[in-house]
Amino acid sequence: MKNKWLRVMTFVVALVCIVSFGAFNVTVDAAEEKMSEAASTLQENLVTMVKQYNTKAEVDEYVNALIQSYGEEISESIKETYQFLYDWVEVKKEIGDFEKVTDFSCEEDKNTAEISSATMEIKCKKGDAVITYVLVDENAKITMEKKATFGELMKNAALNTVLGMGTVFAVLIFICLIISSFGLFKKDESKDSAVSVPAAAPADAADIAADDDVTDDLELVAVVSAAIAAAEGTSADGFQVRSIKRVRKANW
């Protein structure tokens, strides 16, 4: 009986420890997800400006009021910082009025508790936008741009593909035209060489005729045979003339 109660108590203690550990983890996670005061203030200020200033006249009035408060010497810095409100006026024409914040992330300096950079995504009636905050040399630089939809991304990708492939084919066609033009230059060179090189002089007809076989010319054969027989002192029956060739006289 005693061992049974001991087992029950051990099980209860283990169950309490598990529940407590889970509750502790939930508390820690919730604390980690909790936004810091600086980040919360930055988000609220950005949302307030986006909700409040929807026309160029309203932005001009707000910027001029800041310049009067802080002085003309930093007017350019103020205009640069709040340029995103002018961008918001233009973006708002496409995506409509602000509805809610869909995402907010930031990087905070633990030593100074300042936000070094932050990104806030907002949802509007007709689309989304992204606000980027960066702290550079104690000056805040804020940008506003429309977030491209999936259809716009695919359209841009298709245009980039067509442009890239078109450029490649255009270059290839240009190279083919250059290579094909080489044949024209070769033809011109062959014509020039044909004109510049003189034609060989025709051979002397007498020389050509001298190399011909004249065994069929019976009169010439008879005359030559008689001349040879007379020179040798023999009869023409002892030899037969097969060909007659002209012998060029050597220059002595």
Percent of the chain with pLDDT over 90: 17
CB-based burial label for 129 (10 Å; 0-12, 13-18, 19+):
buried
| Cα–Cα distance for residue pair 75/80, rounded to 1 Å | 9
Q: Give the type of residue at 63.
A: V
Q: Which residue has the higher pLDDT, 57 or 192?
A: 57
Q: How many residues does the chain have?
A: 252
Lowest mean pLDDT among 51-60, 189-198, 218-227: 189-198
Tokens 């033009």 locate to 181
Contact 117, 109 (CB under 8 A): no
pTM for this one? 0.49
**pLDDT of 205 strictly over 50:** no
Lowest mean pLDDT among 50-59, 105-114, 190-199, 238-247: 190-199
Contact 72, 131 (CB under 8 A): no
Q: What is the pLDDT of residue 47?
A: 92
pLDDT digits (tens, 9 = 90+) for 105-155: 988 877 777 888 999 999 999 889 999 999 887 788 899 888 877 777 787
Q: Which residue has the higher pLDDT, 121 or 195?
A: 121
Q: What is the pLDDT of residue 24?
A: 40
Percent of the chain with pLDDT over 70: 68
Arithmetic mean of pLDDT, 219-236: 74
pLDDT digits (tens, 9 = 90+) for 13-37: 454 444 444 444 433 333 344 678 8
